[in-house]
Amino acid sequence: MDFELPEELKMLQASVRRFVDAELIPIERETMADGKLKPDVKRRLEDKARALGLWLYDVPEAYGGQGLGLLAKTVVWEELGRTIALPSRAASIFGPMVSPILYHLNDAQKERYLLPVIRGEKRSCFMQTEPDAGGDPGGMRTTAVRDGDHYVINGQKRFITGADDADFAQVIAATDRAKGSRGGISAFLVDMNTPGLALVRKQVTMMDDRPWEITLDNVRVPAANRIGAEGEGFKHAQNWINEGRIRHGSRGAGVIERCLELGAAYAKSRVTFGRPLADRQAVQWMLVDSYMELHQLRLMVRHAAWKYERGEDIRQEAYMAKIFGDTRSFEAADRCMQIHGGIGLTTDLPIERFWRDQRSMIITEGPTEILKMTLARHVLNQYG
Ligand X SMILES: Cc1cc2nc3c(=O)[nH]c(=O)nc-3n(C[C@H](O)[C@H](O)[C@H](O)COP(=O)(O)OP(=O)(O)OC[C@H]3O[C@@H](n4cnc5c(N)ncnc54)[C@H](O)[C@@H]3O)c2cc1C
Site for ligand X, rule CB under 6 A:
126-129, 134-136, 159-161, 205, 209, 211, 360, 363-367, 369-370, 373
- Answer yes or no: are the C-beta atoms of 251 and 78 closer than 8 Å: yes
CB of 157 to ligand X, least distance (A): 7
CB of 209 to ligand X, least distance (A): 4
Instruction: For the chain, list the strands marked E by DSSP.
Output: 32-33, 36-37, 124-127, 143-147, 150-160, 168-174, 185-191, 197-202, 212-222, 226-227, 271-272, 275-276
* Nearest residue to 35 via CA among 103, 86, 74, 71: 86
**Nearest residue to the partner ligand X, using Cβ:** 134
CB of 210 to ligand X, least distance (A): 8
Helix (H, G, I), strand (E, B) or coil at 108: helix
Q: Which is nearer to ligand X, 209 or 293 (CB)?
A: 209
Where does residue 32 rank: exposed (0-12), middle (13-18), buried (19+ CB within 10 A)? middle
Angle at 363 between CA 360 and CA 365, to 5 degrees: 105
Q: Which is nearer to ligand X, 31 or 360 (CB)?
A: 360
CB of 89 to ligand X, least distance (A): 7
Q: Which is nearer to ligand X, 54 or 166 (CB)?
A: 166
- Answer yes or no: are the C-beta atoms of 169 and 126 closer than 8 Å: yes
CB of 10 to ligand X, least distance (A): 34
* Nearest residue to 358 via CA among 311, 310, 293: 293
Determine which helix (DSSP H) or strand (DSSP E) holds 50, and give its type and residue range: helix 39-51
**Of the residues 23, 46, 352, 365, which is catalytic?**
365
Q: Which is nearer to ligand X, 212 or 308 (CB)?
A: 212
* Nearest residue to 46 via CA among 91, 15, 80: 91
Where does residue 283 rank: exposed (0-12), middle (13-18), buried (19+ CB within 10 A)? buried
Q: Which is nearer to ligand X, 129 or 225 (CB)?
A: 129
**Annotation says 257 is catalytic:** no
Which residues are annotated as catalytic?
A: 365
